[in-house]
């Protein structure tokens, strides 16, 4: 099993940078699989999306919220796989470009919400006196 860095560790910066490039490559791959032209504005947009998503996990991990990080990252991976699945299969003929991105963002947002809820539940259960 992968061991997460400790809370307030500088290794979370490295994790965030890795995730930034992972998300950016996945977003770019989805465009390449659909044989779409990319301009600079799209590249900047994908970079901003990747930065936001990687910072969410990096900040959560930096502050020691491991449950949040694990659940959010799992949903991010599921979202990336589904986005690439839509791109490879051209699932929504003519709309695959927009539906793949929206699906990725929706699944990622759902993962963040579930991660926050799980972290809150974990915090309450941890503080419960026995």
pLDDT in tens, the chain (130 residues): 678 899 999 999 999 999 999 999 999 999 999 999 999 999 999 999 999 999 999 999 999 999 999 999 999 999 999 999 999 998 788 888 899 999 999 999 999 999 999 999 999 998 766 6
The beta strands (E) that lie in 79-122 are given as none
- Has residue 19 been placed in a domain? yes
Domain span at residue 90 reads 11-125
Question: Do the Cβ atoms of 85 and 30 come closer than 8 Å?
Answer: no
> How many structural domains comprise the chain?
1
Under 8 Å between Cβ of 79 and 108: yes
Residue 127: predicted pLDDT: 79
Domain contains 118: yes
Does residue 6 lie in a domain region? no
Buried b (16+ CB within 10 A) or exposed e, 42-52: eeeebeebbee
**pTM of the shown model:** 0.91
Q: Are 29 and 84 spatial neighbours (Cβ–Cβ below 8 Å)?
A: yes
Specify the pLDDT at position 130: 61
Is residue 65 one of the residues assigned to a domain?
Answer: yes
- Angle of CA points 31, 80, 84, to nearest 5°: 45
Looking at residue 48, its pLDDT comes to: 97
| Residue 54 forms part of a structural domain | yes
Domain assignment present for 33: yes
Residue 1 within a domain: no
CA distance 87 to 97: 7
């Amino acid at each position: 099993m992968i061991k997460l860095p400790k809370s307030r560790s500088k290794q979370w910066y490295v994790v965030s940078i890795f995730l930034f490039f992972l998300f950016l490559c996945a977003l770019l791959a989805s465009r390449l699989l659909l044989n779409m032209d990319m301009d600079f504005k799209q590249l900047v947009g994908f970079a901003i999306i990747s930065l936001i998503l990687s910072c969410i996990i990096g900040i959560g991990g930096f502050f020691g919220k491991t449950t949040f990080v694990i659940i959010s990252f799992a949903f991010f991976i599921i979202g990336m796989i589904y986005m690439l699945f839509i791109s490879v299969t051209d699932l929504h003929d003519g709309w695959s470009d927009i539906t793949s991105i929206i699906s990725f963002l929706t699944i990622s947002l759902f993962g963040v919400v579930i991660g926050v809820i799980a972290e809150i539940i974990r915090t309450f259960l941890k503080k419960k006196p026995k």
